[in-house]
Amino acid sequence: MTNTQNFDKATQIGFIGAGNVGGSLAVAMSNAGYPVTAVGSRTFASAQTFAGRISDCTAYENIQEVVDRADFVFISTSDDAIKTVCDQVSWREGQGVAHCSGAASVDLLQPAVDQGAVAGAFHPLQAFNSVENGVKAIPGVTFGIEGNDAIQSYLRGIASDIKGIPISLRPQDKVLYHVSGVLMGNLLAVLASVAASMWEKFDHTRDEGVRALSPMMPAVSSNLDSVGVPQAVAGPYVRGDIGTVRKHLEAVSSSAPEYLALYIELALVGLPFAVEKGALAPERSQEIKELLESYRST
Ligand SMILES: NC(=O)c1ccc[n+]([C@@H]2O[C@H](COP(=O)([O-])OP(=O)(O)OC[C@H]3O[C@@H](n4cnc5c(N)ncnc54)[C@H](OP(=O)(O)O)[C@@H]3O)[C@@H](O)[C@H]2O)c1
């Protein structure tokens, strides 16, 4: 092991945090020929499970051993633990370290930088719920990358080699970038949960709602992918069907008032896209806007 600032495909990689993201990235990196050789976690059992998925990877009980043995360390703990972990160990001059958080910037790794390490961030813009699904979900994923030139070049290379799409992020843009991911990944699932829950209001189950509605998601995704915004935006708002909108508002107010505010606000933010598409006249959009606003706090 050497002190180095040039990271390449022979650089020994360590992971601290043996969860869904760390496990998925490590398997993908190892499959792409990167030597993932050391792992540590809060519990030794997690580290052992992680190491068991990768050839020539050793689980360590003490995370300092991971830092001592690897030339580049990915901290893939929960966001709240990144700084604690970084503070807790001793770093070497020229060693590389990156965390996987989308919301936190590289500043969290300042304790390592103060000891001469070079720091970056490597965030996969994808929802991970297991290692098995995560490994399959990596191809095509965008990776938000922060760091100096050496780190960026290394992390961009890894992202490309595991079939992802690297993009560079400035620290000040990181939070909005993460908000966009949470809107699309997490809050879209909340929206789907709300839509499916509506089925309970007309004597069906939420599970039936999920089964009926979820095939719409790949169709919307495919439309977005092929024609983009605003062309993929469709429905009664784009058509200017104010009578249908009124019926929606009456039904939601009386049968699902807990979702009325969500419905109104989403519809309102959608109107400019319908106008931009050229399908909804600005005057009709204004009429719909006034109708929607009249149902606020009713
Ligand atoms: N999940 C996503 O969809 C997603 C997507 C992109 C990026 N990320 C980011 O990826 C990172 C990891 O998320 P995740 O979803 O993989 O979380 P996760 O599945 O909960 O895994 C976190 C891992 O960190 C370990 N850990 C927690 N505190 C620790 C500590 N003090 N010292 C050592 N290890 C510790 C846990 O250890 P034990 O298992 O040993 O208890 C666990 O294995 C986060 O920064 C997150 O923001 C997540």
Q: Considering only CA atoms, which of 246, 277, 276 is closest in space to residue 264? A: 246
Range 29-57 average pLDDT: 98
Q: Within a domain: residue 4? A: no
Give yes or no: residues 143 and 200 share one domain. Answer: no
Find out whether 218 and 226 touch, Cβ atoms under 8 Å.
no
Q: Residue 2: is its pLDDT beyond 60?
A: no
Q: Coil, strand or helix: which one is 27?
A: helix
Mean pLDDT, the chain, whole residue set: 95
Measure 270 CA to ligand 1 centroid, in angstroms: 35
What's the alpha-carbon Rg for the chain, to the nearest Å? 24
How confident is the model at residue 226, as a pLDDT? 97
Find out whether 38 and 18 touch, Cβ atoms under 8 Å.
no
64-112 residue pLDDT tens? 999 999 999 999 999 999 999 999 999 999 999 999 999 888 999 999 9
Provide the number of structural domains found in the chain. Answer: 2
What tokens does 205 get?
């189950």
152: domain CATH number is 3.40.50.720
Give yes or no: residues 17 and 165 share one domain. Answer: yes
Q: Which of 25, 41, 188 to mutate to test the pocket of ligand 1 (most atoms within 8 A of CB)?
A: 41
Q: Residue 142: is its pLDDT beyond 70?
A: yes
What tokens does 91 get?
């770093």
Q: Residue 244: is its pLDDT beyond 50?
A: yes
Range 113-117 average pLDDT: 97
253-294 residue pLDDT tens? 999 999 999 999 999 999 999 999 999 999 999 999 999 999
Give yes or no: residues 151 and 248 share one domain. Answer: no
Residue listed under structure tokens 């908000």: 179
| CB of 193 sitting under 6 A from ligand 1 | no
Q: Residue 3: is its pLDDT beyond 60?
A: no
Measure 28 CA to ligand 1 centroid, in angstroms: 17
Q: Residue 298: is its pLDDT beyond 80?
A: no
Q: Which domain holds residue 137?
A: 13-169
166-203 residue pLDDT tens? 999 988 899 999 999 999 988 999 999 999 999 999 99
Boundary (domain end) residue, out of 134, 149, 169 = 169
